[in-house]
Amino acid sequence: MNRRQILRDALAFGSSLALANTLPTVASAQRRHGGGVGGASKALVPQCNQFFVGCQAGKYELTQPNFPQVAAANFNLLTPGNEMKWTKLRPTPDTFNFTDGDWIVNFAQQNQMQVHGHNLCWNSTANPAWFKTTLNKSNGKQYLTDHITKVMQHFKGQVISWDVVNEPVVPWSKRPDGLYPGPWIDAIGPDYISTAFHAAAEADPKPLRILNCYQVEHDTPDQDRGRANTLALVKKLVQQKVPIQAVGIESHLNATTPLAGQKFRDFLSEIVQTGLQVLVTELDIDDTEVQGSPADRDKIVGKAYHDYLAQFKGISNLNAVIFWTISDKFDWLNTAKDPKLKRMDGQAHRTGVWDQSMKEKTQTYDSIRSVLQTLC
Ligand code: G3I
């Protein structure tokens, strides 16, 4: 299959769906560029075939003033922050709750956006509490396979791509392979990754299957190791014919930590050489250490977005850039419990392209829009 063909097929499939009429359509999109409300033209999306520019949002954000209009006007892809995680979908070991996930899918369909599913499997502590008492070595594989099967079949034809395995490698792992320790490693071992991809391919072969990777963008010893461990894993999966199709680069960046530059571009090239597609899946900029006035901070954050994205010029296998935090108002950094994410001056972060009142930061917006034009 040539580049972008998998997403193209999935798009063609998704666009043939009848749109549900149960949710409010965004009636008056606030756009500066692009075509009519809900039309195929989205203001931030470059005018080229099958390139996706997405945003992360949950049901909460999408029912607040102005946010849904901005999302619908600018993006052709939507990913739910939490609504498709195990925490939401699996209140108990034996039950599924698709209410909020369906709400997200309906919002997207009503507003001509595709859905990127996040995520089918993550070793994080952000899993249902019942994992601790229920998951074990004898049932782990079955739970993982059943979940992936049921969830992918439920959303069949409605989700264009899935983060099948989220954050396989983390910098703070004490394992020699760098894998994220957690419930799936405990219950299944490192093969949880191949188990998940095989289950996904079996459940619904259409959506793009992504390994969503974390902390590989900066020039730090931790991230040097992260890139090496991630590449080793990707190559091993490809060699073992595990049905992985793409690598997601999360891209939660820090405005005051240098980018890895050539080391990052080499990392991308090596992924491309394996034949896999590349997506930027969770882009935002942490400005915890950035000093200065709000205007100064916006300039630094805007430049960080631009400079990071510019590195993807010429990466032909890139077909999506998804922004995780489009507005200062709904910023996970502001609500995260980690004290390292609190600003010394007590002010809120300014990571968004839109501010607290959903007003566009024009310079940031324009520079992101122009760099996106160069990526396809
Ligand atoms: O909805 C409940 C609310 O009912 C409750 O009162 C409140 C009390 O803490 O919690 C609310 O849930 C929180 C949820 O976000 C919605 O706001 C969870 O505690 C909180 O853990 C959860 O955080 C999410 C985090 O992943 C963990 O799942 C963030 O929103 C989300 O942005 C973040 O996203 C991750 C990606 O999935 C993977 N990559 C990194 C990225 C950023 O950390």
In angstroms, what is the span from residue 327 Cα to ligand 1's centroid? Answer: 16
Q: Does 245 have pLDDT greater than 90?
A: yes
User: Is any ligand 1 atom within 6 A of the Cβ of residue 126?
Assistant: yes
Kindly report whether the global pTM for this prediction surpasses the value 0.85. yes
Of the given ranges (14-23, 232-241, 248-257, 313-322), which has the lowest mean pLDDT? 14-23
Task: Say how far apart CA 328 and CA 353 lie, in whole Å.
Answer: 8
Give the mean pLDDT of 94-101: 98
Model pLDDT, residue 48: 82
pLDDT at 337: 83
CA gap 31, 73 in Å, rounded? 6
Q: How confident is the model at residue 257 (pLDDT cuts 50, 70, 90)?
A: very high
Question: Does the beta carbon of 334 sit less than 6 angstroms from any atom of ligand 1?
Answer: no
Q: Ligand 1 in contact with 82 (CB < 6 A)? A: yes
For 31-45, 134-148, 235-249, which range has the lowest pLDDT when averaged over its residues?
Answer: 31-45
Q: Note whether 117 and 163 are within 8 A (CB).
A: yes
Count Cβ atoms below 10 Å from residue 369 Cβ, excluding itself.
18
- Angstrom distance (rounded) from CA 301 to CA 226: 24
Res. 251: pLDDT tops 50:
yes
The residue-averaged pLDDT of 62-82 equals 97
How far is the C-alpha of 87 from the C-alpha of 147, rounded, in Å? Answer: 12
Q: Whose CA is nearest to atom 42 of ligand 1?
A: 332
Q: Which helix (H) or strand (E) holds 46?
A: none
Q: For residue 325, give the ligand 1 atom closest to its CA.
A: 32
Q: What is the dihedral of CA 40, 46, 48, 51, to 10 degrees?
A: -80
- Name the DSSP letter for residue 95: B
* C-alpha triplet 77, 35, 27: angle, nearest 5°: 75
Ligand 1: does its nearest atom lie under 6 Å from the Cβ of 332? yes
